[in-house]
Structure 1
Amino acid sequence: MFIKDYISKDFPCFSLTDSIESARNMLEDFGYSHIFVKKSNHFYGAIAQDFLYEEEGTLKDLEHQIERFAILEDNNIMDSIRLFYTFNASIIPVINKNEKYLGYIGSDDIFQDLSKYPLFSELGAILTIETPARRYSMTEIANIIESNNSKFYGGFISFMSDEVIHVTIKISNENLGSIDATFDRYDYRIVEKFYSDEKSDLFKDRFGFLQKFIEI
């Protein structure tokens, strides 16, 4: 799951002396959200597609619109999710420790790969539960599920404050009523739940869980 295993190299990194028109034409050919810019042979940043339609001239004229974001080749693909969300990007530039541009990763490739994991791919139930922050324990949550003969596919903290923590989990569909009762007995509050056992809901289930994940 390292970034270096997902790098594509067919999208160039432009220089500030390149024309806005050439960058715009390239972006239209690929259909991506940003173009990338280098300066003195080092990665400099990215420019969102909308700015390429505001002016003519060279990319130097858009230098004030450059956003500084990139990911290192030896990072994990999980590190890229916040960048996709924060910068509303469909691609993320990949650099090495010397800030040399190596290529990019695309959101479609990353999300498609993540969707293969049981956390996203298995049919089941999605629950968001609330617990006081002082007694949060993912181990206890997993034990409650497994003690009711259900499978725990995974989860993450979807909200956190000094007082409470919300944990969103994915579990199999067995014994859901018993699991609800056990959570109640251990003073967990179920904030949200979505149960699905229809194959037609699989894509909706995956996409919804990915959306929850990138929005934390």
Structure 2
Amino acid sequence: MNINDYILTEIKALVPQDTVASAHDLCRNYPITHFPVIDTNKLIGSFSEEDIQTIENKEDTINEHRFLLNHFYADTKTPLLELIALFAENDCNIIPVLDKDQNYIGYYELRDILDVFADSPFMHKDNDTLIVAKTKADFSMSQISQIVESNNAKLLGLYVSKESPDNVQVTLKISSDDMNEIIQTFRRYDYSILTIHEDDTYLEELKDRANYLRKYLDM
């Protein structure tokens, strides 16, 4: 998979001499949040659809409202996860793309990038998702990898999905025939398990004890 195959050029970039009226026309024709603005093939920013709608004089040029432009972009070497982060940070559904000489060559669309991510091994349905948490002082990526691989499993990917001043929460994608052993090993290393798994014998034991206690109290 080459992420550069998803660079699009369907929507023509605006230029500083374009009027706000022409930007309005783009807004009507394309359901996107931002429109790239270029000058001699160099990106000078992106004009948000929300800002376009607030300008009363439609005959103004974009250059007169240059201070409203947003400054974000990707290049041809930006990895997939960084692209997803860029979309989230800028609350947008397209991201301008620059080549190695900083020339504008097109844009990525959020829908395409999410489709690529969904088709990656990290998101494959045949794999298990495990979310663990530990104190920040004791958290270790290398230890997490060691725990998974020491149980004859494959760690396909992981990322820090939540962080607080005291704790770190990590989401793992694992290929394994015995998730229970991995889960119990994490517990032995004082990790909290935040996802529920059918083959988690620890939870089954807790259920059995709870049922026994309930029967005892009902006697």
In which range does the TM-score fall when normalised by the shorter chain?
0.7 to 0.9
CA shift for structure 1 position 91:
0.8
**1:164 & 1:34 partners in 2: Cα distance?**
36
**2:79 & 2:2 partners in 1: Cα distance?**
4
Q: What is aligned with 2:48? A: 48
Q: Which runs of 5+ in 2 are unaligned?
A: 199-219
TM-score between both structures, scaled by the size of structure 1: 0.77
Identify the match of residue 116 of structure 2 among 113, 119, 125: 113
Provide runs of 4+ in structure 1 moved above 6 Å: none
Q: Check 1:130–1:9 CA distance in 2 against 1; reply closer, same or farther (3 A cut).
A: same
**2:196 & 2:24 partners in 1: Cα distance?**
43
**How much identity, in percent, do the aligned residues show?**
28
Q: Check 1:109–1:115 CA distance in 2 against 1; reply closer, same or farther (3 A cut).
A: same
When the two chains are superposed, the root-mean-square deviation of aligned CA atoms in Å is 2.6
CA shift for structure 1 position 139:
3.8
CA shift for structure 1 position 167:
1.5
**1:106 & 1:189 partners in 2: Cα distance?**
37
Task: List aligned pairs for 1:17-36, cutoff 5 A.
Answer: 17-36=17-36
Q: Deviations along 1:11-59, whole A, 9 cap, x unmatched? A: 1111121111212222332221111112354210001111222222222
**1:78 & 1:170 partners in 2: Cα distance?**
15
* Greater relative contact order (CA < 8 Å, ≥ 6 in sequence): 1
State the structure with more CA Rg.
Answer: 2
TM-score between both structures, scaled by the size of structure 2: 0.76
CA shift for structure 1 position 123:
3.5
SS at match of 2:24: helix
Task: List aligned pairs for 1:132-151, cutoff 5 A.
Answer: 132-148=135-151, 150-151=153-154
Task: Please say if 1:99 is aligned against 2:136.
Answer: no
Task: Please say if 1:171 is aligned against 2:174.
Answer: yes
**1:161 & 1:184 partners in 2: Cα distance?**
20
Q: Which range moved further: 70-79 or 7-16? A: 70-79
Q: Which runs of 5+ in 1 are unaligned?
A: 197-216
